[in-house]
Homo-oligomer: A and B are copies of this chain.
Amino acid sequence: MQAPDELRAAFEDHLATVRFHPDLGGLEESVRYAIAGGGKRIRPVVCLATAEAAGGTIEDALAAATALELVHTFSLVHDDLPAMDDDDERRGRPSTHIAFGEAVGILAGDALLAEALRISLAYPSPAVALELVSATVGMIGGQFLDIASADVDLAVLHRLKTGRLFAAAVGLGLTTARLPEDRQLPWRSFGDELGLLFQAVDDVLDGDGYAERLGVDAARQVAIAAAGRAKASLTAAGGDTGVLVQIVDELVHRTT
């Protein structure tokens, strides 16, 4: 079993070798810029750790983890656009549309989504691509809720906007590990709780969402409760889930 930092390093190594479709031409520069933004690579690390814990290999999961991170990056690039969140910076660097112009920002996001799905189709079975695209649709539905509704149910919003990709991180790990569906339920519950945990901590750090609605202390309790249920799900799942427990603990205590 590899520790989260080792998985992160393995993922970065793999990401550096990914070849994009030559038809992208000059657009590839902005696509790579968006991906290189760093970030914690939480979703791909969860995907790789889940694959290993469920009896699969990191090698088999790397393409799925890459596709997932590209979908996440696509969502950030479009989220940052002036008509959306209008963020000029992302992780201390100019946002993609600031660095390359707004039109290229739109196209770079489109390309990231299309390339993600192309990469997910490298598997012999369409199951990986189907899991990824369904999660993507859910995330887009969540983004719509976020901009369209003033008094949206936060649980519904988070389950879509953040939760779907976290659930997919776990689901893609299981799929690439070929874990039979009748054994997936506790793992998938883990994925759902992980997404809630991530978002509640995010809200505490950003002072919005649950922190704004319930107060910081109550939002932190939401996160701690989700972490507890996540760990209980891992125990129910069986397997060698120590690395995933470590990821849960890191997510509870993260400060950035």
- State the A residues within 8 Å of B (CB): 21, 23-27, 74, 78, 81, 83-84, 101-107, 109-111, 113-115, 117-118, 121, 123-126, 129-130, 133-134, 136-138, 140-145, 147-149, 160, 164
CA distance A78 to B26 in the complex (A): 19
Contact A84 B103 (CB under 8 A): yes
CB distance from A78 to the nearest CB of B (A): 6
Copies in the complex: 2
B103 & A129 in contact (Cβ 8 Å cutoff): no
* Interface residue from B107, B147, B164 paired with A144 (Cβ < 8 Å): B107
In the complex, the answer to whether A23 meets B103 with C-beta atoms within 8 Å is: no
B137 and A24 contact, CB distance less than 8 A: yes
A26, A103, A136 — most chain B CB neighbours (10 Å): A103
Residue contact A141 to B106, C-beta cutoff 8 Å: no
* Pairwise interchain contact B130-A23, C-beta atoms closer than 8 A: no
22 A-B residue pairings within 8 Å (CB atoms): A21-B141, A24-B137, A24-B140, A24-B141, A24-B144, A25-B141, A26-B144, A26-B149, A27-B148, A83-B101, A84-B103, A103-B147, A110-B140, A111-B137, A114-B136, A114-B140, A117-B117, A118-B137, A121-B133, A123-B126, A125-B126, A129-B129
Residues of B within 8 A of A78 (CB): 106-107, 110
CB distance from A219 to the nearest CB of B (A): 25
Q: Are B107 and A140 in contact (CB under 8 A)?
A: yes
Known: A21-B141, A109-B110. 11 other contacts (CB 8 A): A23-B142, A23-B164, A25-B141, A26-B144, A27-B141, A83-B103, A107-B147, A113-B113, A114-B137, A118-B137, A121-B133
